[in-house]
Structure 1
Amino acid sequence: MKNTIIKNSTSSVALIPEANRRDGFRGEEGCSPQTRDGFRHSYLAMAVRGALFSLGLAAMSLPHAVLAQSGSATSATVQAYSIPAGPMESALNDFARQTGLKLSFDAAEMKGIATQGVTGNFTAQDGLSRLLSGSGLEAVTEPGGYVIRKPTVAGTQPAVLPAVQVAATPITGPTDGYMATKSFSATRTDTPLRDVPQSITVVTKDLIRDQNMLSMGDVVRYVPGVGISQGEGNRDAVIFRGNNSTGDFYVDGLRDDVQYFRDLYNIERVDVLKGANGMIFGRGGGGGVINRVTKEAGWTPINEIVAQYGSFSQKRIAIDVGRPINDIAAFRLNAMYEHSHSYRNGVEIERGGVNPTLTIKPTAQTKIVLSGEYFMDNRTADRGIPSFGTSPGVVDSGRPVNTHWSTFFGNPANSPARVDVWALNSLIEHAFDNGLTVRNRTRYANYDKFYQNIYAGGQAVVQGPTLEVPISAYNNATQRDNIFNQTDFLYTLNTGPLKHELMAGVEYGRQVTDNFRNTGFFNNTSTSTPVTFLNPITQVPVTFRQNATDANNHGVVEVAAVYLQDQITILPQVKAVLGIRYDNFDLKFRNNRTGDVFHTNDSLVSPRVGLIYKPIEEVSIYGNYSLAYVPRAGDQLASLNLSNATLKPEQFTNLELGAKWDIRPDLALTAALYQLDRSNVIAPVPNDITRTMLVDGQRSRGAEVGLMGRITPQWSVMGGYAYTDAEITRAITGAQAGSVVAQVPKHTVSMWNRYDFTPFLGLGLGVVHRSNMYAALDNTVLLPGFTRMDAAMFLRVSKVLRVQANIENIANVDYIASANNNNNITPGAPRIYRLTVIANF
């Protein structure tokens, strides 16, 4: 143990850095040749690859002397702290023991001074600054540690450098443990979350780490009102308040809408916004959106290696390395590789990614962030198990087949799914002297995706002494180039007694998509072949070729948008958020198989009106109205045909009433009541099946309660409850009036807890409960509810080494995790162990 030296004993705290450096923003197979002929990488995509490679190579080749961190290694190391509120003298002793630093102070000066404590992961400088915050003490560096004292008289004190900035950048918003206090995603302004009239859940980096989250399914597990769908085993699919989406995914506020499984290796936090979000995000966002906020390079050195091993031979390694290059530029590199098997027979996953980032601050008012990413995901497309006993039109007549959770129906060896993503991103932000801030974001991404599945294509039926399941097959290839450019103008002004925080902007996007699908013919003759429960794997030869309805499409989308938002402080207790957005959505679509050409142009006007009343500063009561649209091309821009090309876009209208209470600065309680209506849904005209009409076809009503933050300095929580009543209100294509929306349970409850017994030992415990739900709109197959528990242990071995063990489904409960339809149902995983070793040096 290092000694704490007590020697000869306030206003704002000033932490004097050990070296004069600029402080930055903190951040801790199976594809046939004919399928691929139409897909060639564009010159622009090749340029992206070259730029990404050059960025990484240039940064890695920087001289070691340039990349070397400033200050002592001990001071720059990020580590966990758990120091409760109380007397300053005791807290300083705890801090010295946890860091190994020498702290010198006069015990007499500490008498009567208290601290709010510090809990979380910080450098020594950041941790000490938080510990002293509000105490009137300052920390001055000396060899091997710090002198803690009251400020000396002007003229006799040593030169004081600027205080270390502990708060995160306002753009991404600060987080403290499991609680976030701000979110850029919802308003694109630096607004406290409690003053945003919308239900938002922020999954922080601490929660991502503690729950060992690796996917979007992990992210939404404890988010009230949001669920996961199967996505046919080849993509993320999320259900927001009863609305299923595969395209409402964003990265740093820009669209990332191709269907694939995303990873979190380079993610700082995930913002989950519920309700219609058309004003901020444009088309889509009918039920909600997920925005991933990426890690940025900063001036705090980062050196982290994470190695993981788990059940079913799960192996994963990730690195996070960040360095200041000089006072103006900083570099960061995140990389990951994983190779894992699965509890499902024959299923395998291999994925990896690399993401170099460069931050440049040529002046105090200008910030430039450049980044590139390559990500690949190769896995087995797994569509689960079928149902049994279904009678057409008879509610609750079917159930998932009773089989072992590992049983694969079809052929896993011939069901590959892969995606390659190449992306370049930039942020340029400048604050002018007159108060105007201009922010520009650009993202170019090239997506190359292929998947093939041989799967259960129907329900299990009795054939003699056994059950048989029909097997179907197809493959699908998608090539897409996205480019989006978004410019925001932010300005604050007063008009009489009213304060206005204005955000205006323009956005342009272009998406070029090619899509090609083949149907599988068994023995080159039939589109279906049976398997039995005793032998559910088919070895029948399959030939993939186009049939009369398979897609062979080329589409070009251009979107131009302009938007305006005004956050008005009417009275200290009353605020309003008014916004409107206009999108011109232009789609040129060609069916290469038939030669049909469609051209649609939609003008979308998306308003948002919110009113906030604050009886006290820590409480906000709000009401909100918002609108969003989904054009007929759908989430994936491939749903256009002759019968729907002239129809109006689907419309989503959200009404919400809620309250947010920051019980303490590190603990928040939220509640919301909502009604979300989906209109302009295609429905058949009664008594004339040759004609269709548009109706108000779906309504979701519900309530959500969320709790996140610290109950005590040692006890952190995140979770909540959601009640969702989602039903079809008019008979539409595929569903009768009164049907319950597919894969939407009425009740979900979730709560994750972490308790730190000492600075070196913590335990985590979580519970997730979901009530019954239906697999499809016909409500014939009921998926039973379940309760599942998870656990974790956190152990700090030394200043640089941490060990974490996670156990999912500790009671080994049999349950259904998700579904795509009545006969593509995914069994939940059995008890799974994961051991993670984290080294910070």
Structure 2
Amino acid sequence: MKSRLAEPQPSTRNLFAFLTATVSVLVLVPTDARVAFAQERTAAVGYSIPAGPLPQALNRFADVSGLQLVYDAGATRTLRTAGFNGKGPASSVLATLLSGTGLTWRFTSTDTVTITSPAALSGSLPADGSTVLETITIQGEGINNWNAPPEYAGGQVATGAKLGILGNTSIMDTPFNVTSYTSKTIKDQQAVTVADVVANDPSVRVYTNGLGSSAGVGDSFVVRGFSVGNYSVLIDGFGGIAPDRIIPVETMESVEILKGPNALLNGYTQYGSLGGSINVIPKRATDEPVTSVTTTYASDSQFGTHLDYGRRFGNDKEWGIRANGIFRDGNTSLDGQSARLGVGTVALDYRGDDFRASLDAGQIDQKTDVPTGSAGFGFASGIAIPKVPDLSKQIYQDWEYAGTKSDYVLGKFEYDLNPSWTIYGGAGYRRYDQEALSSDIYVTDTAGNATATAYYSPIQEDAFSAQAGIRGEFDTGSISHKVNLNTSYLFQTMNQESNYYGFYSFSTNIYNAPTISRPSTAGFSSNPPKYWDINAPAITLADTMSFFDDRVLFTAGARYQQIKVDVFDPDGSLSQGYDKSALTPAFGVVVKPIENLSLYANYIEGLQRGPVAWAGTSNAGEIFPPIMTEQMEAGIKYDFGTFTATASVFQITKPGSILTTDSSGASVFSVNGEQRNRGVELNVFGEVTANLRVLGGVAYTQGTLTKTDDGLYNGNSAVGVPRWQGNIGIEWDPQAIEGLTLSGRIIATGSQYVDQANTQKLPGWTRFDIGAQYKTSTFGNPLTLRASVENVTNKNYWAGVSDGWVTMGTPRTFKISATVDF
């Protein structure tokens, strides 16, 4: 879609600003004359712009009228409008929208309107008699490929997302189901990691939480019934370089969730993004200075501080710096458990007229004492799933711990060869050192008796990721094209000592755990040998074609991906490996039969490294070749102006893993059969009224095993795929108390099977969260107070299943914070 917004060139910017300010104070010119001037250039069309925030109303006006709007974003941020419904010339509609705001407007060309405030020109003049003007910025629904997409009405989600090879794309223009949660949502919900943010999405469930679990993958999720690990989270579109275990979202501008396989868009990711992908966008310096201090408290006794600083420099504010520092430490709401988190990030950027560049760097230091197990709980075959233990009660031993140190850096650039073509590129590096002494628990009866297997796990990894490409726009007759040719490369090397797994076992009980002496790790090295190298180069070509004045958008593309894996024995010799390649095509179409309505469909594939045979099987450690998924999806999206609803149906098929027993009675892990997930999703977000916002939806997923070995489990429900999942969050601003916001959220999950034979099942669960926010001031500085309670009823529940291992939910947790902006 061609942008409806234009920015003055640098050589004329001062002149443009001067002319804008001059004409804005010509209040002696009769309004009728200005209207007549506008009516000569616009025809009466229909508008449906609800009452609400003025910026969103102006965005809608620009979209319908096709006009370009130039105005000061800061001057409109807090203003509201009565809206407009009906037909009329653009001039009359705009006059109605601006009524009572104190702003004036004028056509400065046949398709450009300048909006300004006469008050902006008041005040004393400099000694030389010149006029000092406010910075003028361009606002509207146009989305570029560099900045994060703007907020949608209500501010909880963005109007678009960065879709890998497709770049920044409006929600209404993408043939996929995507939601981008904003920094406002992150702050208001006091989110710490990605796991806290995805709790808003009905298609996503958290399997392990990196702050509380010793799982090597840290935060791990299930999207549309398939696993998505923290290692697969992208940073600003780059895979393989995300911090280990957790990503501190307080340093991020947004968290984007794309549902479904996405090989074309994002390429290969190490631990799988077959059900979807998660992309985090780092904070950047804004035009307005940022200096904020946040103090936090979370039960049981965890305190923290977050410093956020941002500035822009230069004649045109072309240079920017954004720095964040976070420290948290103390006991969590689980007895005996404590967690420490230290974060430091810096983001530098340059935004010129033709050249833009950024550099992001960060360090995360995290440690948890008495974490929950890596895999959680396994259950002996044939026993009924026992009652979940008290979530706040200590089950693991005092000597258990898990910690990691991660460093990452990412540099990016893009250069406009001309108005239609841009070259871009970037490279990133990540290093982490992880160490854990922890245990997994295998429950043997309904009384909770179990065997705990301790392991010592030092892991070190280095990763390098790079991209380069060219994108451009051109027309062939009446068809417009947006093409992107991209090359990428991902290298990962991991050091890991597999011999330290299961070095010690002891008896325990999940309801009354005994105290066990710390096992000796004497002789174990914290510098493990090389375990594997992964090389993954790729080349991608995609084209989005526009027909009938952007009413039909058709995207087609393909990625050629190579994955080369070498696995080493402890002595450094090559143990096993493979060198495979795959061509993963994708197709998507968006049809807009009427304004604000989008119908879409897609076919896309997913690709990930093959699974590793589980510990305890006769072929433990065997690495299988890459696996692929296929998705077909169709959906509908309707934007009501300040409120959007989407619905989709999908089918994803994936090769399945299975455990069988050989003639000697040993368990054998293999990739055999297929898992087919079919589902329906409904999502809603935005402002229902001026003081009521809603965020959430419902997901129904039917996971079915097909083509299993000898048809053994054909037709059974897939492991860890609940039929029903629902989330609904509401924010309400009581008009009686200015500055107060009340919130509530319900998260519900249906029952799910633990084993492929469908003999063991976890019951469904529902969790309630509540919160409050109050905005005031202290010593002339804005002050925001926030308080929330997660799992209000202290519900005990089994959270989820992955590969037959079960994890628990989180106990009732109180959170309090205070943010001062200077």
What TM-score, normalized by structure 2, do the two folds share? 0.78
Tell me if structure 2 keeps the 8 A contact 1:384–1:408. Answer: no
Aligned partner of 2:407 in structure 1 is 422
Runs of 5+ in structure 1 lacking a partner? 1-6, 13-25, 27-74, 88-108, 119-123, 126-132, 148-155
Distance 2:124 2:548 in 1: 45
Aligned partner of 1:218 in structure 2 is 196
Aligned partner of 1:367 in structure 2 is 356
Aligned partner of 1:303 in structure 2 is 291
Aligned partner of 2:63 in structure 1 is none
The alignment covers a number of residue pairs equal to 712
Q: Does 1:289 align with 2:266?
A: no
Aligned partner of 2:24 in structure 1 is none
> What's the secondary structure of 2:184's corresponding residue?
helix
Alignment of 1:264-275 (within 5 A): 264-275=249-260
> What's the secondary structure of 2:186's corresponding residue?
helix
Q: Does 1:404 align with 2:390?
A: yes
What letter matches 1:164 in structure 2? T
Q: 1:708 aligns with which of 675, 679, 685?
A: 685
Aligned partner of 1:737 in structure 2 is 714
Tell me if structure 1 keeps the 8 A contact 2:423–2:470. Answer: yes
Q: Does 1:493 align with 2:470?
A: no
Deviation at 1:648, TM superposition (A): 4.4
Q: Does 1:476 align with 2:457?
A: yes
> 249-258 vs 196-205, which deviates more?
249-258
Tell me if structure 2 keeps the 8 A contact 1:485–1:508. Answer: yes
Distance 2:613 2:183 in 1: 29
Aligned partner of 1:816 in structure 2 is 798
Aligned partner of 2:818 in structure 1 is 837
* Structure with more contact order per residue of length (Cα contacts < 8 Å, sep ≥ 6): 1
CA displacement 1:157-182 (0-9 Å, x = unmatched)? 96867622346864321223123222
CA displacement 1:6-25 (0-9 Å, x = unmatched)? x999779xxxxxxxxxxxxx
What letter matches 1:269 in structure 2? S
Tell me if structure 2 keeps the 8 A contact 1:614–1:620. Answer: yes
CA displacement 1:343-402 (0-9 Å, x = unmatched)? 2221111001111121123x31111111211111111321399879x662x4xx522345
Aligned partner of 1:192 in structure 2 is 170
Q: Does 1:85 align with 2:74?
A: no
Deviation at 1:538, TM superposition (A): 2.7
Alignment of 1:563-642 (within 5 A): 563-572=540-549, 573-592=551-570, 595-632=573-610
Tell me if structure 1 keeps the 8 A contact 2:264–2:540. Answer: yes
Tell me if structure 1 keeps the 8 A contact 2:530–2:572. Answer: no
Task: Quickly say closer, same or farther: Cα 1:117–1:491, change in 2 above 3 A.
Answer: farther
Distance 1:355 1:632 in 2: 33
Alignment of 1:112-261 (within 5 A): 113-115=96-98, 137-140=115-118, 142=120, 163-166=136-139, 170-171=145-146, 172-176=148-152, 177-230=155-208, 233-234=214-215, 235-246=218-229, 247-255=231-239, 256=241, 259-261=244-246
Task: Quickly say closer, same or farther: Cα 1:476–1:738, change in 2 above 3 A.
Answer: farther
> What's the secondary structure of 2:504's corresponding residue?
coil
Tell me if structure 2 keeps the 8 A contact 1:558–1:587. Answer: yes
Deviation at 1:777, TM superposition (A): 4.0
> What's the secondary structure of 1:617's corresponding residue?
coil
Task: Quickly say closer, same or farther: Cα 1:721–1:779, change in 2 above 3 A.
Answer: same
Instruction: Quote the sequence identity (%).
Output: 20
> What's the secondary structure of 2:293's corresponding residue?
strand
Task: Quickly say closer, same or farther: Cα 1:369–1:775, change in 2 above 3 A.
Answer: same
Task: Quickly say closer, same or farther: Cα 1:695–1:311, change in 2 above 3 A.
Answer: closer
Tell me if structure 2 keeps the 8 A contact 1:324–1:330. Answer: yes
What letter matches 2:508 in structure 1? V
Aligned partner of 2:45 in structure 1 is none
Deviation at 1:656, TM superposition (A): 0.4
Alignment of 1:450-599 (within 5 A): 450-460=435-445, 468-519=449-500, 527-532=504-509, 535-544=512-521, 553-572=530-549, 573-592=551-570, 595-599=573-577
Distance 2:405 2:415 in 1: 34
> What's the secondary structure of 2:533's corresponding residue?
strand
Distance 2:753 2:678 in 1: 17
Deviation at 1:641, TM superposition (A): 7.8
What letter matches 2:749 in structure 1? R
Tell me if structure 2 keeps the 8 A contact 1:78–1:840. Answer: no
Q: Does 1:764 align with 2:743?
A: yes
What letter matches 1:409 in structure 2? I
Deviation at 1:308, TM superposition (A): 1.2
CA displacement 1:698-740 (0-9 Å, x = unmatched)? 1101010100111122211110000011122233599833343
Task: Quickly say closer, same or farther: Cα 1:605–1:764, change in 2 above 3 A.
Answer: same
Distance 2:749 2:303 in 1: 30
Distance 2:119 2:427 in 1: 42
> What's the secondary structure of 2:169's corresponding residue?
coil
Deviation at 1:544, TM superposition (A): 3.7
Aligned partner of 1:378 in structure 2 is 367
Deviation at 1:494, TM superposition (A): 0.4
Tell me if structure 1 keeps the 8 A contact 2:723–2:752. Answer: yes
Distance 1:431 1:836 in 2: 43
Task: Quickly say closer, same or farther: Cα 1:190–1:834, change in 2 above 3 A.
Answer: closer
RMSD: 4.0
Aligned partner of 1:671 in structure 2 is 647
Tell me if structure 2 keeps the 8 A contact 1:683–1:733. Answer: no
Deviation at 1:498, TM superposition (A): 0.9
What TM-score, normalized by structure 1, do the two folds share? 0.77
Aligned partner of 1:59 in structure 2 is none
Task: Quickly say closer, same or farther: Cα 1:353–1:693, change in 2 above 3 A.
Answer: closer
Distance 2:602 2:712 in 1: 30
CA displacement 1:659-698 (0-9 Å, x = unmatched)? 111121x321111100000037568699999999864421
Tell me if structure 2 keeps the 8 A contact 1:86–1:117. Answer: no
Distance 2:656 2:751 in 1: 29
Aligned partner of 2:311 in structure 1 is 323
Q: Does 1:342 align with 2:332?
A: yes
CA displacement 1:43-76 (0-9 Å, x = unmatched)? xxxxxxxxxxxxxxxxxxxxxxxxxxxxxxxx99
> What's the secondary structure of 1:797's corresponding residue?
strand
Distance 1:580 1:701 in 2: 24
Aligned partner of 2:344 in structure 1 is 354
Tell me if structure 2 keeps the 8 A contact 1:772–1:785. Answer: yes
What letter matches 2:558 in structure 1? I
Aligned partner of 1:103 in structure 2 is none
What letter matches 2:175 in structure 1? P
CA displacement 1:54-108 (0-9 Å, x = unmatched)? xxxxxxxxxxxxxxxxxxxxx9999984745369xxxxxxxxxxxxxxxxxxxxx
Tell me if structure 2 keeps the 8 A contact 1:518–1:545. Answer: no
CA displacement 1:630-674 (0-9 Å, x = unmatched)? 2326699xx9989966x642110011011111121x321111100
Q: 1:447 aligns with which of 428, 432, 435?
A: 432
> What's the secondary structure of 1:313's corresponding residue?
strand
Deviation at 1:185, TM superposition (A): 2.4
Deviation at 1:443, TM superposition (A): 0.9
Task: Quickly say closer, same or farther: Cα 1:527–1:685, change in 2 above 3 A.
Answer: closer
What letter matches 1:324 in structure 2? R
> What's the secondary structure of 2:793's corresponding residue?
coil
Aligned partner of 2:637 in structure 1 is 660
What letter matches 1:173 in structure 2? P
Runs of 5+ in structure 2 lacking a partner? 1-26, 36-54, 56-71, 85-91, 104-110
